[in-house]
Structure 1
Amino acid sequence: MTRKTILITGASSGLGEGMAKEFAAMGRNLALCARRTDRLDALKQELTEKYPDIKVSVQALDVNDHDQVFAVFKAFKEEFGYLDRIIVNAGMGKGASLGTGYFHANKQTAVTNFVSALAQCEAALEIFREQNDGHLVTMSSISALRGMPRAMTVYAATKAGLLSMTEGMRADLMKTPIKVSSILPGFIRSEINEKVKNTPFMVDTETGCKALVKAIEKEPVQAYVPGWPWALIGFLMKRLPLKVVMKLG
């Protein structure tokens, strides 16, 4: 099945922007939303000039404005008439070790990556239940598999929560035509990690987004991306002692 019209949140930069470019090259129509409308407008112009046969629509969206999430998703549905796939991609990675005075940053990451992801999933599934069809994709992380130290503690916890919630949605929808996929990216260079240096197995944004789109197109239950070496690392992370897991990154 070809998913013709795809909605991507957090599409103004990083993995969201990269996936939009890959899907555009495949001839898909795009509903793109993010806070930075200037970057969305530039992306729309780039894609429509390069691929004149596709439709690209953009809207401003701060996913932490949960009423706006529902309004924007509904507006895209009314504009296109049908949404085939929704990718819950918007997120952030602020934070620090708990108890070190950075509750505000940890809370912001917790709300954005989990509560706001919940809002996006709710809005997406309202549309898909009405259509009795659709593909919901959540962007978790390899860090979801174990607890992580320092700045990664809350981020990893939110991605674990999202991974669990996605499995719950999949269980709830198992007897329907609606598909639900969890994607667990490994280390893909983007704005969220641009300051992180000397990270093993890091791939550039274009390589990572090609792998993400290839995985999403297969509509898997769950996928590690890129598959090598992250499928193996994921297997090990779930089984090795915590002090050993901490050395893998």
Structure 2
Amino acid sequence: MGRLQGKTVFITGASSGIGEASARQFAKEGCNLVLTARRLEKLEQLKADISKSHLNIFIHAVKLDVRDKKQIDTVVTELPAQVKDVDVLVNNAGMVIGTDPLIDVKEAVVDQMLATNIKGLVFLTQAIVPRMKERETGHVINIGSIAGKQAYAGGSIYCATKFAVDAITKALAIELVDTPIRVSQICPGMVNTEFSTVRFQGDKEKADNVYKGLQPLVADDIAELIVFTAGRPAHVNIADMLVFPVNQADSKTVYRRPE
């Protein structure tokens, strides 16, 4: 029996990409799952798929827009008894829109990124960590980014949101240092998921061009590290992890094979 067997894992943004891959890999460890995202039909498909090969775990799929604090509080309050006590919170939901310079970024785009990437993470943490403190056990894993370590042109607001995630994660770890609750951050570099297609408003060709000439990370690569982080012994906390594909050195330095 592994360390994660029987644990309850709450994942935001579970309908695709890193969130979906994490759900599948936590299921392999025997974890019960709370799967949340805005696209309920995708979550139901994922639940059905996982359930076929993992009959002994409990899966709760529920629609959730992390920008809505009332919705977050309702979802957490109404969790079924089997997953009421969350052992691992994976704050994965996040998004970026466009590559416009700062002076051209629209207000609605700013609001959407701030609400999703920062406020959603904060509100989920506020909803779940108090019960972790009561139980004296728990783990918060925030999905950051190289964009939260190094800013770049065309990413001003997105970088700002991920710098905020970095700061929030570090502050929370300090605030919980006298508890058994672990706080971790995993910061990917270039990962080829639906995330990039959203950035370019559905233009798959533009999204794919970002990774032309190199082998990027994929969702499973990051999911594996999330599960690894969650599965360390209780006295071990992986505080911060920066992950690149082998041909990336920082936010803008990459080697692309000539065609």
Q: Which residue among 1, 4, 15 is the counterpart of 1:2?
A: 4
Unaligned runs of 5+ in 1: 238-244
How far does the alpha carbon of each residue in 1:196-234 deviate from its partner, in whole angstroms, 9 at most, with x for none?
Answer: 4243451233334223322443341111235x649x94x
- Give the match for residue 158 of structure 2: 155
Paired residues of 1:145 and 1:160 also in contact (CA < 8 A): yes
Deviates more, 1:78-87 or 1:161-170: 78-87
Deviates more, 1:202-211 or 1:164-173: 202-211
Matching residue's letter, 2:240: Q
- Give the match for residue 100 of structure 1: 104
Cα distance in 2 for partners of 1:196, 1:149 equals: 19
Cα distance in 2 for partners of 1:216, 1:142 equals: 21
Unaligned runs of 5+ in 2: 198-206
Task: Give the match's secondary structure for 1:2.
Answer: coil
- Give the match for residue 203 of structure 2: none
Cα distance in 2 for partners of 1:212, 1:58 equals: 20
Cα distance in 2 for partners of 1:196, 1:36 equals: 23
State how many pairs are aligned.
236
Matching residue's letter, 2:220: E
Paired residues of 1:211 and 1:225 also in contact (CA < 8 A): no
1:132 matched to 2:130: no
1:110 matched to 2:110: no
Task: Give the match's secondary structure for 2:97.
Answer: coil
Task: Give the match's secondary structure for 2:102.
Answer: coil
Structure with more contact order per residue of length (Cα contacts < 8 Å, sep ≥ 6): 2
Cα distance in 1 for partners of 2:13, 2:253 equals: 31
Q: Which residue among 34, 37, 54 is the counterpart of 2:40?
A: 37
- Give the match for residue 231 of structure 2: 217
Matching residue's letter, 1:127: R
Paired residues of 2:4 and 2:29 also in contact (CA < 8 A): no
Structure-1-length-normalised TM-score: 0.86
Deviates more, 1:6-15 or 1:121-130: 121-130
1:203 matched to 2:207: no
Structure-2-length-normalised TM-score: 0.83
Cα distance in 2 for partners of 1:77, 1:129 equals: 20
Cα distance in 2 for partners of 1:211, 1:197 equals: 26
> Percent identity between the aligned chains?
27
Cα distance in 2 for partners of 1:83, 1:68 equals: 17
Cα distance in 2 for partners of 1:77, 1:175 equals: 30
Cα distance in 1 for partners of 2:226, 2:127 equals: 23
Deviates more, 1:118-127 or 1:9-18: 118-127
Q: CA deviation at 1:105?
A: 1.1
